[in-house]
Each structure stands twice: as C-alpha cells, then as structure tokens.
C-alpha cells in the first residue's frame, strides 16, 4: 500500500510540474522586418544642407542685403522680410 501511495505522489508531482510550466512565448511578427532591416543597412544620404550648396551663385545684391541684415542683428522672419524688401530695392 505504501508503494502505491508513493507511486501516486511521484506521478502527481511529475505531472503537476509540466501542467504549471509556462508556455513558450509566441513569435513576434514584427521581429522579421527588424531583422531584415539590420541585415541590409540602407545607404546613408550624403546630401549636404540646402544652404551650404546653393543651386546658383548668389548675386551681389543678395550678399549686400545679407550684410545689412547681419549689421542690424536680424534673425528669422524679420531677416527674411528685410532681405526680400532689400533685394526689391537693389540692395539700397
């Protein structure tokens, strides 16, 4: 009788351990695109900032208006509107 009880106790301990075990975490579907992006890195853009590489040379009037705006300490929209008016009047 003791052997039967010992066998039942051992079986219940063995089965309860597997019943309480955590299931494996489901695979994340977002992991595949991330891995693909890491495998093939994109080429970095080497485009310089727009202000550093103007498409055409600046005119003397534009440069003069910028110098005047610098002398007045203008920045932002005030500088932009001043330069626009200055260029309309030929830098004077």
What pLDDT, in 10s, does the model give residues 17-67? 665 666 677 666 655 555 555 555 555 655 555 566 658 888 999 999 999
Evaluate whether residue 35 is within a structural domain: no
Residue 75 is given by DSSP the state -
pLDDT tens-digit readout, 70-92: 999 999 999 999 999 999 988 87
Enclosing domain of residue 67: 55-92
Evaluate whether residue 7 is within a structural domain: no
Evaluate whether residue 84 is within a structural domain: yes
Evaluate whether residue 48 is within a structural domain: no
Evaluate whether residue 15 is within a structural domain: no
Evaluate whether residue 12 is within a structural domain: no
Evaluate whether residue 81 is within a structural domain: yes
Evaluate whether residue 88 is within a structural domain: yes
Regarding pTM above 0.75, the answer is no
The domain tally of the chain equals: 1
């Amino acid at each position: 009788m003791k052997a039967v009880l010992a066998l039942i106790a051992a079986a219940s301990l063995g089965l309860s351990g597997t019943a309480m075990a955590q299931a494996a975490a489901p695979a994340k579907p977002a992991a595949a695109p991330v891995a693909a992006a890491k495998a093939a890195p994109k080429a970095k853009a080497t485009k310089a900032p727009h202000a550093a590489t103007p498409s055409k040379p600046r005119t003397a009037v534009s440069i003069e208006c910028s110098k005047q705006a610098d002398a007045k300490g203008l920045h932002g929209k005030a500088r932009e509107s001043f330069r626009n008016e200055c260029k309309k009047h030929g830098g004077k």
